[in-house]
A and B are shown apart, each in its own frame.
Chain A
Amino acid sequence: MASLDRVKVLVLGDSGVGKSSLVHLLCQNQVLGNPSWTVGCSVDVRAQDYKEGTPEEKTYYIELWDVGGSVGCASSIKSTRAVFYNSVNGIILVHDLTNKKSSQNLYRWSLEALNKDSSPTGVIVSNGSDYDREQFAENPVPLLLIGTKFDQIPDNKRNEVLTRTAFLSEDFNAEEINLDCTNPRYLAAGTSNAVKLSRFFDKVRVQRREVIYSIPLEIDPTVITACKGNIVYSVNIICIIIWCSSLAQIKVILREEQYCLF
C-alpha cells in the first residue's frame, strides 16, 4: 500500500539552470538563499491539495527528485544517475532562457530519462539518441517545461525567446512556464503559472493510478500461454488471487474517493 502513495517527479536540466532554486521554491515557498552545486540527487516534497474546497479534499505529497549534472558527462556518472530514473511518474524539464544550448540539451535529457523508465506500461523508446516527435506524442509520462531567469531577458528580446520556447513545448507535447526562481510572485496562487502547475501535478497523479490499475490486466494472457501442464493450473490460481486482491484494492480506493474508472 505504501507504494500507492508515492508520486515521483524528476527535475532535469543542465547544470546551472536553476533546478535547486526551483525545487526549493516549489516545496518551501521560499527563495533559496545560497544555491550551491547539487552532487548526486537531492529530493524534496511538495504538499499538493487534490480537489481543494470539496469534502473529498486530500493532500498528496509529491516527491521532486532534482538530479544534477550535465548531459555530456562521463558514462560512469550517467550509469549511476540511471538509478534515479526508475518508476518515474512525471518529468519537469528545466532550461535557462538566457542560454539556448540548455534548451537544446533538453532533448537528450528527456531521452536519457525515458530510456531508463522501467514502469511496466511505459513506452520504451527504441534507439539511442535520435529524436522523434512521435515518441513524445504517445508518451504516457507527463512532461512540463520550465524556463528560468526570465527577469534577465531584456524587453526587446522577449518575443523572440517566447516564440522559441513555444516551439520547444510543442515538440515535447508539454505545457510551459517561464519564471524567475528568485521571485515567488510568478507562482502565486491564481496566476496562470500556478494553474498550469497544479494541472500538471493532477495529470501526474491520474497517470500513476492508470499504471497501477492496468498491471493485473496484462499479466494474465502472457503468463498463461507461456506455461504447460499442471503448472498452468497453479499459475491460474495465482492469477485469480492477484486479480481478486487488486479488485479489492480498487474497491477500497474507489470507496475512498469515488473515482469512477469503469
Chain B
Amino acid sequence: MSFLVDSVIMFTSQVLFFGFGWLFFMRQLFKDYEVRQYVVQVVFSVTFAFSCTMFELIIFEILGALSSNSRYFHWKLNLYVILLVLIFVVPFYIGYFVVSNIRLLQRQKLLFACMVWFTFMYFFWKLGDPFPILSPKHGILSIEQLISRVGVIGVTLMALLSGFGAVNCPYTYMSYFLRNVTDSDILALERRLLQTMDMIISKKKRIAMTRRQMYQRGEDQNKQTGFWGMIKSVTSTQTGSENLSLIQQEVDALEELSRQLFLETVDLQATKERIEYSKTFQGKYFNFLGYFFSIYCVWKIFMATINIVFDRVGKTDPVTRGIEITVNYLGIQFDVKFWSQHISFILVGIIIVTSIRGLLITLTKFFYAISSSKSSNVIVLVLAQIMGMYFVSSVLLMRMSMPLEYRSIVTEVLGELQFNFYHRWFDVIFLVSALSSILFLYLAHKQAPEKHMAL
C-alpha cells in the first residue's frame, strides 16, 4: 500500500519536472524559433524530468521520506530510464536531425541515422579503455559499464565548467579589472566605423559603374574560355576587369576592417555599461562578492593541487568534518545526529539548486550564441545530452559531500564503481581548466588595452 502511495508521489513530481522543462524550452531556449518537431521538446523535457527526479531521490534519502524499499526501486527504475534515454534515444535523434539537414542523404534518413548511432556507440565503448574504472568481475552488458562511461564524460564536463566558472566569476564581478573607457573613445571608434562603411560604399559604386559600362560596351564579364580565349587574354590587356579585381580586393580588406571595428565598439560599449553598473549599489555588492569568490577559487585550486600531489582522497565529508571541528575544538555540544541531517540537507539542496540553475543559464547562453534556424534542433538535443550526463555525474560526485549513512544508497544503486578515481579525475581536469582559463583571461586582458591604445 505504501509502495503505491510512494509511486504516486514520485509520478506527480516527475510530471511537475516535465512541465517545468517544457516551459523552459518554450520560453527561454526556443524564444525566437518556431517548434516544428515536437519530438525534440519532448525528449528535452523527459531528460530534464528524470535528472531532477534523481536529485529529488537524494533529498528524500536524507530526509528519510518514503519507505526505503520504494526508494530503492525508484532509484533503479530512474537510473535505467535515464541511461536508456542518454545512450539510445538522444544520440539516435541527434544523428537523425543531422542527417536531415544534409541534402544528399534525404532518401535513406533512417539508415544513415542508425549508422551514425553505431559510430557513436563504438566511440562510447572505446572511451572506457584507457581508464581504470572497472573491476574485472563485471560482465560485458552490465549496467556498470554504461554508468562508468557516462560518469567519465559527465565528470569531465563538470570539471571543465567549474574550473572556468571559478576563474571567470571573480574576473567578471570585480571592478578592479575594468578598463577605463570614456565616451570620446566610443565616439571616435564609431566615427571610424562609419568612415570605413562610406569607403566601402564608394568603392562598390565604382565597381557597379564600371560593370555597367563594360556590360553596355558588350564586353564579356567572364574570363575567356578555350584555347583561343587563353591566347587572346595574354595579348590583349583587359584593364577593366583587372581594375575590378583590385578594387574588389580592397573592398574585402575594408569589410574585414569594418567587422573588427564593429566588434571593438561592441566591446567598449559593454565595458562602459559594466563601469556604470559597478557604481550602483548592486554593482558594489557583486564587487565584494567577487573578492570573496576569488579567495574561494584560489583555495580550491590549492586543494586540488594538494590532492593530486599527495595522492590524497578525502574520507570525510564537509558536514561531518565541520561538526567534528565544532564539537572537538570549539567545545560546542549539540545533538550530532539531528543537526547533521539538517545541515547536509541544506548543503546538498544548495549544491543541487545552484548546479541546475548554473547549468541551465550556461546552456541558454551557449544556445543563443551558436544556434541558427537550421541547426536549432540538433543543438538542443546536444544540450539535452550534456545536461543528462552532467546531472548523472553530479549525483556520483555528490556522494562525497554526504555523511556515511546516506552514501550507502548511492553506492548500492550505482554499483561498485571506483569512486576515488572519479574524484581524482575531477581534480585533475579542474586544475587544468582553471589554470588554462587564467592564462586565457590574462592574454585577453593584456591584448585589449594594446588594441585600445593603437586607435
Q: In this assembly, does B450 line the interface, its C-beta being within 8 Å of a C-beta of chain A?
A: no
> Are the C-beta atoms of A16 and B372 separated by less than 8 Å?
yes
> Are the C-beta atoms of B201 and A98 separated by less than 8 Å?
no
Give a binary string over A146-166; 1 marks a CB under 8 Å from any B CB, 0 the rest.
000000000000000000000
Give a binary string over B205-249; 1 marks a CB under 8 Å from any A CB, 0 the rest.
100110010000000000000000000000000000000000000
> Are the C-beta atoms of A80 and B34 separated by less than 8 Å?
no
> Are the C-beta atoms of A43 and B197 separated by less than 8 Å?
yes
Give a binary string over B250-279; 1 marks a CB under 8 Å from any A CB, 0 the rest.
000001001101110111011011000000
Which of A83, A99, A100 lies in contact with B194, CB distance below 8 A?
A: A83
Which of A16, A42, A74, A80 lies in contact with B255, CB distance below 8 A?
A: A42
Give a binary string over A57-73; 1 marks a CB under 8 Å from any B CB, 0 the rest.
00101010100001011
Evaluate whether A83 and B208 lie within 8 angstroms (CB atoms) in the complex, with A76-B270, A76-B273 already known. Answer: no
Q: In this assembly, does B204 line the interface, its C-beta being within 8 Å of a C-beta of chain A?
A: yes
Q: In this assembly, does A180 line the interface, its C-beta being within 8 Å of a C-beta of chain B?
A: no
Closest residue on chain A to residue B371 by CB atoms:
A16
Q: List 17 interface pairs A-B (beta carbons < 8 Å), by A numbering.
A: A14-B32, A15-B372, A16-B373, A39-B262, A41-B258, A44-B204, A46-B208, A63-B201, A65-B197, A70-B32, A76-B269, A76-B273, A80-B190, A80-B265, A84-B197, A96-B373, A99-B33
In order of increasing CB-CB distance, the 4 nearest A-B pairs are: A40-B262, A76-B269, A76-B270, A16-B373
Q: In this assembly, does B49 line the interface, its C-beta being within 8 Å of a C-beta of chain A?
A: no
> Are the C-beta atoms of B263 and A79 separated by less than 8 Å?
no
List residues of chain A with CB within 8 A of the CB of B209: 47, 61
Number of A interface residues, CB 8 Å?
A: 37
Q: In this assembly, does B31 line the interface, its C-beta being within 8 Å of a C-beta of chain A?
A: yes
List residues of chain B with CB within 8 A of the CB of A65: 197
Distance in Å: Cβ of B114 to nearest Cβ of chain A: 27
List residues of chain A with CB within 8 A of the CB of B272: 76
List residues of chain B with CB within 8 A of the CB of A45: 201, 204-205, 208
Which of A17, A37, A76, A98 lies in contact with B34, CB distance below 8 A?
A: A98
A45 to B190 Cα, complex, angstroms: 22
List residues of chain B with CB within 8 A of the CB of A74: 270
List residues of chain B with CB within 8 A of the CB of A46: 208
List residues of chain B with CB within 8 A of the CB of A39: 259, 262-263
> Are the C-beta atoms of B208 and A47 separated by less than 8 Å?
yes
Q: In this assembly, does B301 line the interface, its C-beta being within 8 Å of a C-beta of chain A?
A: no
A115 to B270 Cα, complex, angstroms: 21
Evaluate whether A72 and B266 lie within 8 angstroms (CB atoms) in the complex, with A44-B204, A83-B194 already known. Answer: no
List residues of chain B with CB within 8 A of the CB of A83: 190, 193-194, 265
Residues of A within 8 A of B (CB): 14-17, 27, 37, 39-47, 59, 61, 63, 65, 70, 72-77, 79-80, 83-84, 96, 98-102, 105
Closest residue on chain B to residue A39 by CB atoms:
B259
> Are the C-beta atoms of B263 and A101 separated by less than 8 Å?
no
Closest residue on chain A to residue B31 by CB atoms:
A72
The binding surface of chain A is classed by DSSP as: mixed
A113 to B265 Cα, complex, angstroms: 19
> Are the C-beta atoms of B204 and A43 separated by less than 8 Å?
yes
Distance in Å: Cβ of B416 to nearest Cβ of chain A: 49
Distance in Å: Cβ of A119 to nearest Cβ of chain B: 16
Distance in Å: Cβ of A108 to nearest Cβ of chain B: 11
> Are the C-beta atoms of A47 and B266 separated by less than 8 Å?
no
Q: In this assembly, does B200 line the interface, its C-beta being within 8 Å of a C-beta of chain A?
A: yes
> Are the C-beta atoms of B208 and A79 separated by less than 8 Å?
no
List residues of chain B with CB within 8 A of the CB of A98: 34
> Which chain B residues in 30-53 approach chain A with CB under 8 Å?
31-34
Interface-central residue, A15, A79, A84, by most chain B CB under 10 Å: A79
List residues of chain B with CB within 8 A of the CB of A44: 204
List residues of chain B with CB within 8 A of the CB of A41: 197, 258, 262
> Are the C-beta atoms of A61 and B32 separated by less than 8 Å?
no
Closest residue on chain A to residue B203 by CB atoms:
A45
> Are the C-beta atoms of B212 and A59 separated by less than 8 Å?
yes
List residues of chain B with CB within 8 A of the CB of A77: 266, 269
List residues of chain B with CB within 8 A of the CB of A63: 201
Evaluate whether A43 and B262 lie within 8 angstroms (CB atoms) in the complex, with A16-B372, A75-B273, A96-B373 already known. Answer: no
Which of B34, B193, B204, B205 lies in contact with A99, CB distance below 8 A?
A: B34
> Are the C-beta atoms of A72 and B263 separated by less than 8 Å?
no
Which of B32, B212, B263, B267 lies in contact with A40, CB distance below 8 A?
A: B263
A42 to B200 Cα, complex, angstroms: 9
Closest residue on chain B to residue A79 by CB atoms:
B269
A77 to B263 Cα, complex, angstroms: 9
A96 to B373 Cα, complex, angstroms: 10
A102 to B374 Cα, complex, angstroms: 14
A14 to B33 Cα, complex, angstroms: 10
> Are the C-beta atoms of B269 and A43 separated by less than 8 Å?
no
Give a binary string over B114-149; 1 marks a CB under 8 Å from any A CB, 0 the rest.
000000000000000000000000000000000000
* Given A43-B197, A100-B34: 8 more A-B contacts, CB < 8 Å: A14-B32, A16-B372, A16-B374, A47-B209, A61-B205, A74-B270, A76-B266, A99-B373
> Are the C-beta atoms of B259 and A40 separated by less than 8 Å?
yes
List residues of chain B with CB within 8 A of the CB of A40: 193, 258-259, 261-263
> Which chain B residues in 294-345 approach chain A with CB under 8 Å?
none
A43 to B204 Cα, complex, angstroms: 9
List residues of chain A with CB within 8 A of the CB of B197: 41, 43, 65, 84
Interface-central residue, B32, B197, B204, by most chain A CB under 10 Å: B32
Distance in Å: Cβ of A32 to nearest Cβ of chain B: 15
Distance in Å: Cβ of A201 to nearest Cβ of chain B: 15
> Are the C-beta atoms of B270 and A47 separated by less than 8 Å?
no
A59 to B205 Cα, complex, angstroms: 11
Distance in Å: Cβ of A144 to nearest Cβ of chain B: 20
A96 to B33 Cα, complex, angstroms: 10
